[in-house]
Structure 1
Amino acid sequence: MACDGHRVARGDLAEVRRVGAGCAVPDGQEARPSTGWSRRQPVGGMRFRVRTGIPWRDVPAQYDGPWIRVYDLFRRWQSDSIWRILRASQT
């Protein structure tokens, strides 16, 4: 079990691995207001989709509800260059 009460599946992000990704917000961007939900589940859904190659509409609801929520976050991060920043921080 994760600290927020959700079951952590094999391959989902662990607390330790999320810490490094948590500070990859570009300078000058405002923090979005808290919505009361963790991004762990949608990021897990993105990883699941990339790992399995399934269509976005087939992402299981266990990853924070409707597939469109996971897809929207993925596209928002893509347009904000978050993925490029994360890849650069990995090297």
Structure 2
Amino acid sequence: MIPAHRRHDISDGLWEILKPHLPGREGVRGVTAKDNRLFINAVFWIMRTGAPWRDLPPDFGDWKNT
């Protein structure tokens, strides 16, 4: 299931700027991240709401594994 776009998610343009600078991308030593963009959006959601990680909406994934 693909989550619905949330109005405060990062834009495609901003994502293209951020993507090459994040750890966990393919071709870089170490573990490849499952979905860096989803993680960044989850972090922004936490920052915006002030909620604890346990209250992260399920469409961001399991709060223990995000």
Question: Post-superposition, which runs of at least 4 consecutive aligned residues in structure 1 deviate over 4 A?
Answer: none
Identity of aligned residues (%): 23
Residue deviations 1:15-57 (CA, integer Å, cap 9, x gap): 111111112147xx61534x6x432222111110011100110
Larger radius of gyration: 1
**Structure 1 unaligned runs (5+)?**
71-91
- Which AA in structure 2 matches 1:62? D
Q: What CA distance in whole angstroms lies between the structure 2 residues aligned with 1:66 and 1:48?
A: 14
> Which residue does 2:59 correspond to in 1?
62
1:42 to 2:39 alignment? yes
Q: What CA distance in whole angstroms lies between the structure 1 residues aligned with 2:22 and 2:9?
A: 21
How many matched pairs?
61
The alignment's C-alpha RMSD in Å is 2.2
**Structure 2 unaligned runs (5+)?**
none
TM-score (norm. length: structure 2)? 0.72
